[in-house]
Amino acid sequence: MKLLLLIIILIISPYIIWSQNYHLSIKTGFSHSTQAANISPVAHIRPIEKSIQSVFINIQYNFPIKKNELNVGLQLIEKGYRTEYDLFINSTNEHTDYQNSLSYIELPINYLWVRKKINFITGVIFSYMYDCNYRIKQTGINYGNPNIIFATNFSDTYNIKNVRYNDLDFGVNIGFSKVIYENIELELTAQKHFIRIDKLRQRDLIFNTSLLLGIRYYFL
């Protein structure tokens, strides 16, 4: 994938360098992500596992091609999932919350099909995981002896990036945008990635899938 990214950069670089007719834009909004195979980003992985929501930011160069546009950007986004469940083990009622937060820097390369009412977006996206956090919190009450009832409380954060995760990811973008006021657009895009992010190949972390809703501002 590194070779493919290098080839794409070499292909588009001359156009970016020599093009004089371009403009800069910035987008921010909310993302909704999950990591399960063949699961919609608006669905749960399993009943106890839920998607994660975050705020993203995107800076983009827009290069006109006839009536349409080539868009090359840089994006910061947090993905992952969270889980909450209760277990009763050895006379202890235990409640567990844990969350995998995966931080990515991404290079989206999109083609914007400009239409009168709604613009359509298609493209590819290269992702690099620069940080991650595994956060866990456990609380419990022990009922083993009626005369000795005590509570437990534990929380911690771990970084397991080099142990469990693949750094690089690749996927596709599809979506649409609509001008809502002069140089301000509303964008809705879906991302589907194809590289398995979990080195341990467990079922809870398979492929990144995200739904992004944001507002883009064009600098004139």
pLDDT per residue as tens digits for the range 75-90:
999 988 777 766 666 6
Show Cβ contacts of residue 47 under 8 Å, excluding neighbours closer than 6 positions. none
- pTM equals 0.75
Closest residue by Cα to residue 94 from 50, 136, 47: 136
Nearest CA to 9 out of 81, 74, 72, 97 is that of: 72
pLDDT value at 156 more than 60:
no
Other C-beta atoms within 10 Å of 26: how many?
A: 15
Domains of the chain as residue ranges with CATH: 23-82+102-132+166-219 (2.40.160.20)
Our CA angle for 98, 101, 106, nearest 5°, is: 165
